Structure 1
Amino acid sequence: MYQRIGRHTLISARSLKAVVIRHGITFMMGLASGLPLLLTGSVMQAWMTDAGVSLDAVGVLALVGIPYTLKFLWAPLLDRLPPPLMGRRRGWLSLIQFVLALLIMLLSMFDPGHLPLAVGVMALLVSFFSASQDIVIDAYRREHLPERELGLGSSFYVYGYRIGTLIASGAGLMLADQVGFQTTYLIMGLLLGGCILITLLAPEPTAAQPDTSLDWRNTFLEPIRNFLDRSGAWWLLLFILLYKLGDSVATNLTIPFYKEIGFSNTEIGTTVKLFGVWMIMAGTMLGGALIVRLGIYRSLWWFGLLQMVSTAGFIWLNHVGHSLTALAAVVSFENLAAGMGTAAFVAFMAALTDKRFTAGQYALLSSIMGLPRVIIASPSGVLADAVGWDLFFLICTLAALPGLAMLWRFREWRDQLEAGRQHDQPAEAIE
């Protein structure tokens, strides 16, 4: 029996089953990738806030996300050095997932109210192994899926990833209200441990094995040198650092902010996490569609302005106080704008990469993009304590202006980005 896929392609029932299995694996690996992320982010912020940890210490917690911004440093090692068992991808992935699940369960044994430093160190280790898991899963997906299925596979991966974050944050916060955070982390560790079964059942990709010798120059230095040799490269890096600065600093403290104005973990979990994540996905899809019509440059402008206005919505929420309707409105607008801005920003960074060094250069750019969320946002708790919520969110709103000003100053980026898109070339002429 054959099924029709698309307009002209016929596929046998056996082949269709293989496609379903491939994308089922991709979906589950996406779920495993998304599950640990917020366990060291918003969920841990809520746990530490409930435990009475100071706001400035909660803000510094953003630093545990450093491994996500630096994973390009050790990614080549996971690519070139195969483990002794189960193949290059499944071997590393099963080992990393085992350690990651164990660390999350160990984290459940600590009390951040009494041992905040120990909890921070454990969270940093969780972030390191979670970032390593992402490296291997990304590589597995590229090698496991046929070229024609990469686009579809990316969609399944994103949906799995978002559901993983939903389980950890939305369901996790609601579960914490019922059984406490320590039991919640134990359950999350067991769930991630169950993902090892998918890794064990999945086939090892048949991609050609790389040279296991480490060529340090070509592996680590050449992609960076190629990018920095462009005229104006440092201005581009500065823009990438600044574009989502205000949005990143503001969202670093939203959980303590929500809790201070009276929202419970369950209300935050259902409204901010479960409902809010769908608005991010809607914003990403809407942004991708609008970019086709507006182009990358104009999309950066309009979506950046929306991000700026949406950040100011937190000031309004601070005056409204405990209102689920107001919370849903602010979260919807902020997440929709953030999704649209991210879509334009990712397209912008992709346009900058040289196709000879796509992985290395994109890792570099995405690491710089993550710096505001991890490094710059870390003292945000000190700032909020010093100036109060209204002025804090006003500062975050105004922090979007330097990035938008750079877009205005370098209007020539518009024509060069569009030329790069039309000719399917990297935007290497941006100067």
Structure 2
Amino acid sequence: MVTVSEYLGYFKDRRLINVFAFGVASGFPWILIGSVMSAWLKDEGLSRSMIGLFGIVFVCYSINFLWSPLVDRVKLPLLHKLLGQRRSWILLSQVFILLATLWLSQVDIQNQLQTVALCCFVIALAGATQDIAIDAFRIDTLNEHETHKTTAAATMATSGWWTGYALLGAVPFYMADLPDWQWTHVYFVLALIMLALMLGVFFAKEPDSNREYIHKALEAEFIQTDASFLKRIGAWLWVTIAEPFRAFFNRNGVKTALALLAFIFLFKIGEAFLGRMSIVFYKEIGFSNSQIATYSKLGTGLITIVFAFLGSLFNSRYGIVKGLFISGIAMAASNLMFSLIAMVGPKESLYAMAILVDGFTQAWSLVAMVAFISMLCDRAFSATHYALLASLGNLGRTFLSGSSGYLIDYLNGNWALFFLLTALMVIPSLIFLFLIRKRLMALEASFHSKQ
């Protein structure tokens, strides 16, 4: 069992600093099309149902596995030569995020709602593509014998994501309460922040990988003695699109693979409804933009980062599966805290307590899930495998969040009942986790035996 001092020593690795920086860039788009957009739409008088529908753009994060094989294999002209496979895709994605954010800073939302929706879609599509490359970068940047650093890398990714989403996410809410500041002004500042985040690409080192060698060997196996043009095209398409999925099921077995996919899909359904409507809830219950910035952004971000390090140490010492159990139970408790706020009103002390529990939940669930999914990836197809597994985790969140506004309207604005229902949604995933726990522990033991 790793000691605390040994584990803390992992964070001296410069590669993990790069993982943190890319984590910040990964979380930042969620501000642009998530909490800040929800607040803007709410201030413009749009209905809960319409605000909820804007969450459908997050479907890009749920289906990004469809184009993840291209991120694994397609070499971008000029950028690939300058930056390498992973960093070139990260930079290209960030350019599109920057341009769409600048566009949002110039729109009249009352008369250009379709344009706003288009910008949100572009940011979501580019952000989802950026995530494919960033997750693959994190997996590739550690050597195969460094499996002991997987949870540390997951911690840095989680801490970075919450820095980008929550700590930087507090900035626009403080600015929105300033005299004469409009949301368009806020988006211009957010575009400048995005520009600064793009510098991280140039400070990171492209990971070494034998991925291309493996891909060429698989293509040669497919071609065999027929080297015709059509056969070579077929080989490239097979290795790019079909082989990653075949490799995943062959590696784990069909039954185990399906069980893993089902668990990942179920695990965060309890959070799905909460995520999109949380800002709407805070504003309806009576909290100001500055209070939301202080508690839900700064508070949650700082707490999550602290608990991310504690959670990763726990996962490293006692196993990822136990970490998943704890985070699932905490997830339900967190939603019940918000239900209590709905019943008693906007009390800051209760709000702070709910944020503490929610920060713990976010940290433990994200660190455990990121490390868990990373463990399941084949390094020859790291972008595709991680995107496939992570997108399943986002699938329930995306589709359910789109209907969350309709649910709260159906409940006649009964937020207490709404959060109680979200807490109950956690139970199926915990039951399923208990049923497959032995197989998951065996996979974890096999993964760590490589070091």
AA matched with 2:172:
G
| Structure 1 match to 2:114 | 117
Partners of 1:137 and 1:417 lie apart in 2 by 25
The answer (yes or no) to whether the contact 1:249–1:372 under 8 Å persists in 2 is: no
- Residues 75-154 of structure 1 aligned to structure 2 (within 5 Å): 75-86=68-79, 87=81, 88-89=84-85, 91-139=88-136
Q: Using the TM superposition, give the Cα deviation of residue 260 of structure 1 relative to its aligned residue in structure 2, in angstroms.
A: 0.2
| Structure 1 match to 2:424 | 398
Residue 220 in structure 1 maps to residue 222 in structure 2:
no
Q: Using the TM superposition, give the Cα deviation of residue 159 of structure 1 relative to its aligned residue in structure 2, in angstroms.
A: 4.1
Equivalent in 44, 48, 59 of residue 55 of structure 1: 48
Residue 423 in structure 1 maps to residue 446 in structure 2:
yes
Equivalent in 28, 38, 41 of residue 45 of structure 1: 38
| Structure 1 match to 2:415 | 389
Partners of 1:354 and 1:30 lie apart in 2 by 21
SS at match of 2:385: helix
Equivalent in 437, 442, 450 of residue 414 of structure 1: 437
Q: Using the TM superposition, give the Cα deviation of residue 101 of structure 1 relative to its aligned residue in structure 2, in angstroms.
A: 0.9
Q: Using the TM superposition, give the Cα deviation of residue 323 of structure 1 relative to its aligned residue in structure 2, in angstroms.
A: 1.6
Deviations 1:148-185 (A, max 9, x none): 79767766555444332235411111112222211011
| Structure 1 match to 2:163 | 163
Residue 378 in structure 1 maps to residue 380 in structure 2:
no
Q: Using the TM superposition, give the Cα deviation of residue 116 of structure 1 relative to its aligned residue in structure 2, in angstroms.
A: 3.1
- Residues 4-403 of structure 1 aligned to structure 2 (within 5 Å): 27-86=20-79, 87=81, 88-89=84-85, 91-139=88-136, 158-178=158-178, 179-199=181-201, 210=212, 215-228=236-249, 229-292=253-316, 294-353=318-377, 359-387=383-411, 388-403=414-429
The answer (yes or no) to whether the contact 1:53–1:116 under 8 Å persists in 2 is: no
Partners of 1:78 and 1:163 lie apart in 2 by 25
AA matched with 1:109:
Q
Q: 1:175 to 1:75 in 2, by over 3 A?
A: same
| Structure 2 match to 1:429 | none
Partners of 1:215 and 1:310 lie apart in 2 by 47
- Structure 2, unmatched stretches of 5+, are 7-11, 217-232
Identity of aligned residues (%): 31
SS at match of 1:36: helix
- Structure 1, unmatched stretches of 5+, are 1-5, 8-15, 427-431
Partners of 1:153 and 1:342 lie apart in 2 by 12
Partners of 2:393 and 2:170 lie apart in 1 by 25
SS at match of 1:263: coil
The answer (yes or no) to whether the contact 2:324–2:368 under 8 Å persists in 1 is: yes
Partners of 2:92 and 2:326 lie apart in 1 by 44
Q: 1:36 to 1:217 in 2, by over 3 A?
A: same
Q: 1:282 to 1:324 in 2, by over 3 A?
A: same
Partners of 1:400 and 1:91 lie apart in 2 by 38
The answer (yes or no) to whether the contact 1:35–1:167 under 8 Å persists in 2 is: no
| Structure 2 match to 1:13 | none
Q: 1:126 to 1:358 in 2, by over 3 A?
A: closer
Of residues 224-233 and 204-213 in structure 1, the stretch that sits farther from structure 2 once superposed is 204-213
AA matched with 1:330:
A
SS at match of 1:231: helix
Q: 1:300 to 1:52 in 2, by over 3 A?
A: same
Deviations 1:364-416 (A, max 9, x none): 121111112211221010000110212211211111122223234x2xx2333
TM-score, normalised relative to structure 1: 0.82
Partners of 1:35 and 1:47 lie apart in 2 by 17
SS at match of 1:82: coil
Q: Using the TM superposition, give the Cα deviation of residue 34 of structure 1 relative to its aligned residue in structure 2, in angstroms.
A: 2.8
SS at match of 2:287: coil
RMSD over aligned Cα atoms: 3.3
Q: Using the TM superposition, give the Cα deviation of residue 114 of structure 1 relative to its aligned residue in structure 2, in angstroms.
A: 3.9
Deviations 1:86-134 (A, max 9, x none): 4244544444333321110101222444433331221010111122233
Count of aligned residue pairs for this structure pair:
407
AA matched with 2:132:
I
Q: Using the TM superposition, give the Cα deviation of residue 329 of structure 1 relative to its aligned residue in structure 2, in angstroms.
A: 0.7
SS at match of 2:106: coil
Q: 1:194 to 1:421 in 2, by over 3 A?
A: closer
SS at match of 1:237: helix
Partners of 2:317 and 2:197 lie apart in 1 by 40
SS at match of 1:253: helix
Q: 1:79 to 1:305 in 2, by over 3 A?
A: closer
